[in-house]
């Protein structure tokens, strides 16, 4: 699948407070404000660390996981809170070391930037590799909340349902992906093992023909 990068607007938490009594009361603190809770400022990745991250992303895009991992290491040496590098390192670990190790690293990324959509996608993939299908679906849905037309998140959900042998939902989300990118998705679905058990199914065949 193709990685996705995007932005997600953070939700706001509103606090309310109330009190009441007929008894005389000592002086009270002001009531809690109903204004949105202030968000901590987003970590600013250092320039050098960001440059190493981009080198890592280019290597990863070329399929050179070793060079990508080394560049992620350089990025994190310069800035341990480079959430972009942590997420990329995590998905490489999920593929090449173990899904659980990758999940742990991507969690570090999301702890620094809880709204980093690329980390949602990477986490969805890592959870899928670990066969945690429901968790994977939930993270793909987070990507779709930011970008409702993200083809490969719809496809990812479809493959999770296919792996769970849930034909109805697998085809429902596969159709959403096909509607956005017919040629690519049809070809991919016809060749990947997720849908092997549906290859002779007339509904699947009609959808991917």
Of these ranges, 29-33, 41-45, 187-191, the one predicted with the greatest mean pLDDT is: 187-191
Q: Which of 134, 136, 118 is nearest to 126 (CA)?
A: 136
Query: Alpha-carbon distance 200 to 183, whole Å?
Result: 20
Up-side HSE of residue 90: CA atoms within 13 Å toward CB? 27
d(C-alpha 84, C-alpha 75), whole Å: 9
Length of the chain: 209
pLDDT given at position 89: 98
Domains, the chain, ranges and CATH?
A: 45-132 (1.25.40.10), 149-209 (no CATH)
Concatenated DSSP letters of 151-166: HHHHHHHHHHHHHTT-
pLDDT for 157-189, tens place per residue? 999 999 999 999 999 999 999 999 999 999 999
Q: How many CB atoms lie within 10 A of CB 76?
A: 20
Mean model confidence pLDDT for the chain: 86
Q: pLDDT digits over 63-85, tens only?
A: 999 999 999 999 999 999 999 99
CA–CA distance, 78 with 100 (Å, rounded to integer): 25
Q: What confidence tens digit (pLDDT) does each residue in 132-143 have?
A: 999 999 999 999
Contact 76, 108 (CB under 8 A): no
- pLDDT score of 41: 74
User: Is 75 within 8 Å of 52 (Cβ atoms)?
Assistant: yes
Which pLDDT belongs to residue 20? Answer: 33
Give me the residue label for tokens 């980093």: 116
The 3-state DSSP class for residue 82 equals: coil
* pLDDT tens profile 21-32: 333 333 333 344
């Amino acid at each position: 699948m193709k990685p996705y990068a995007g932005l997600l607007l953070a939700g706001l938490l509103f606090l309310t407070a109330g009190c009441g009594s007929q008894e005389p009361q000592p002086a009270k603190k002001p009531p809690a404000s109903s204004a949105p809770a202030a968000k901590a400022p987003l970590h600013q990745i250092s320039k050098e660390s960001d440059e190493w991250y981009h080198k890592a992303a280019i290597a990863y895009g070329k399929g050179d996981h070793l060079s990508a991992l080394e560049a992620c290491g350089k990025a994190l040496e310069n800035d341990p809170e480079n959430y972009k590098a942590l997420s990329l390192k995590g998905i490489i670990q999920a593929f090449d070391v173990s899904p659980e190790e990758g999940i742990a690293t991507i969690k570090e990324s999301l702890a620094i930037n809880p709204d980093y959509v690329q980390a949602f996608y990477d986490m969805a993939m890592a959870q899928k590799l670990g066969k945690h299908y429901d968790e994977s679906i939930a993270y793909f849905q987070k990507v779709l909340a930011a970008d409702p037309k993200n083809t490969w998140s719809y496809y990812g959900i479809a493959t999770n349902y296919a792996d769970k042998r849930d034909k109805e939902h697998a085809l429902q989300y596969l159709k959403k992906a096909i509607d956005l990118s017919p040629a690519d998705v049809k070809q991919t679905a016809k060749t990947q093992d997720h849908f092997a058990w549906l290859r002779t199914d007339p509904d699947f065949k009609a959808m991917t023909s």
